[in-house]
Amino acid sequence: MDPRDLVPYLGMAALFAAVVAFALYLVPLFSEAGLQATETPEDPANTAIYVVAVLFITALMIAAMRYDVDFLVQVGVLFAVGVLAFYVLDAFLPFAAGAAAAAALVAALYLYPEWYVVDAAGVLMAAGAVAIFGVSLGVLPALLLLVLLAAYDAVAVYRTKHMLTLADGVMEMRLPVVFVVPRRWDYSFLDSHDELEEGEHDALYMGLGDAVVPSVLAASALAFTPEMHDVAGVEAYTAGGSIVGIALGFVALMYLVSKGKPHAGLPLLNGGAILGFFAGSFLVGLGPLQALGLA
């Protein structure tokens, strides 16, 4: 492989790393600010609620595209971008400045959704989502979420293929639910007509969920592991192990993607996150049940 062909994959890795690093930085800030979405983060029932929500939102988006009311999807995604961007920016800026910056980002996405605007919004949106999920789900519910969504992703990509249909639809609307890394310098996302099918594309694409979902376990480990165990620095091992596992899963995923076929990302990424979490726990002497707070 020509070394220049690696540039898009390195760019995607940089975006992925930015999401993880930014999200973990936000976790203590969001926790202190009380941004938990649930009052009982250790309750495994929370996992079912989130999975049902994912399925419901996915179904609504596909239905909107099928019945030619795509603008509803655009409005919903841009609203989510504004809210999540505000939560992230509010951690660093005064209220008015954060609100103005979030509004400016939404306006930029609506008026000029070039790939770098989409990617910048995607990093903010994904980091905010990971941090909120991380402080809202205990380790066990987070792990269950990864398992269930990995299975769903595999079915949605390889069997029903509706995830590919959804991804093509949101790409046409130039929404920040995918990361876009050009393969050539003159690439324009605004003029692109790529679809997620087999063959060479003008850019490398990865769904935002592939960065968000596996990172939730690392964020949850950072937020809740210290509360479960009186072991100094244990959160660094559990969260760090998850990150290493995600990185290995990412390398494997990019290798498969380089073959020119779309692939479900969550089975590899989530699997890596889970194995890394338990490996990190093992290094500090915690068994699987202890690591999950069950013993």
Query: Is residue 285 left, alpha or beta, with left meaning phi > 0 and alpha meaning psi from -120 to 50?
Result: left
Could you tell me which of 122, 119, 133, 120 has the C-alpha nearest to residue 214?
133
Euclidean distance between CA atoms 89 and 91, whole angstroms: 5
Angle at 63 between CA 59 and CA 207, to 5 degrees: 55
Which pLDDT band, with edges at 50, 70 and 90, does 228 fall under? low
Q: Are 38 and 128 within 8 A, CB to CB?
A: no
Q: For residue 282, what is the enclosing H or E element?
A: helix 266-283
Euclidean distance between CA atoms 115 and 197, whole angstroms: 19
Q: At 14, phi and psi to the nearest 5?
A: -65, -40
Better-scored residue on pLDDT, 143 or 169: 143
Which pLDDT band, with edges at 50, 70 and 90, does 147 fall under? very high
Euclidean distance between CA atoms 91 and 100, whole angstroms: 14
% of the chain with per-residue pLDDT over 90:
72
What is the value of pTM for the model shown? 0.94
Q: Could you identify the residue written with the tokens 């220049």?
A: 4
Mean pLDDT score across all residues of the chain: 91
pLDDT tens for 90-133 read: 988 999 999 999 999 999 999 999 999 999 999 999 999 999 99
Which pLDDT band, with edges at 50, 70 and 90, does 195 fall under? low
- Average pLDDT of the segment spanning 233-239: 90
Residues 6+ apart with CB under 8 A from 65: 73, 165, 166, 169
Which pLDDT band, with edges at 50, 70 and 90, does 199 fall under? low
Chain centre distance of CA 84: 13
> In the structure encoding, which two tokens stand for residue 165, read together?
């249909």
Could you tell me which of 104, 105, 78, 66 has the C-alpha nearest to residue 175?
78
Coil, strand or helix: which one is 34?
Answer: coil
Strands (E), 53-183: 178-182
pLDDT at 76 over 60: yes
Euclidean distance between CA atoms 263 and 155, whole angstroms: 11
Better-scored residue on pLDDT, 246 or 176: 246
pLDDT at 77 over 90: yes
Residues 6+ apart with CB under 8 A from 87: 30, 35, 128, 132
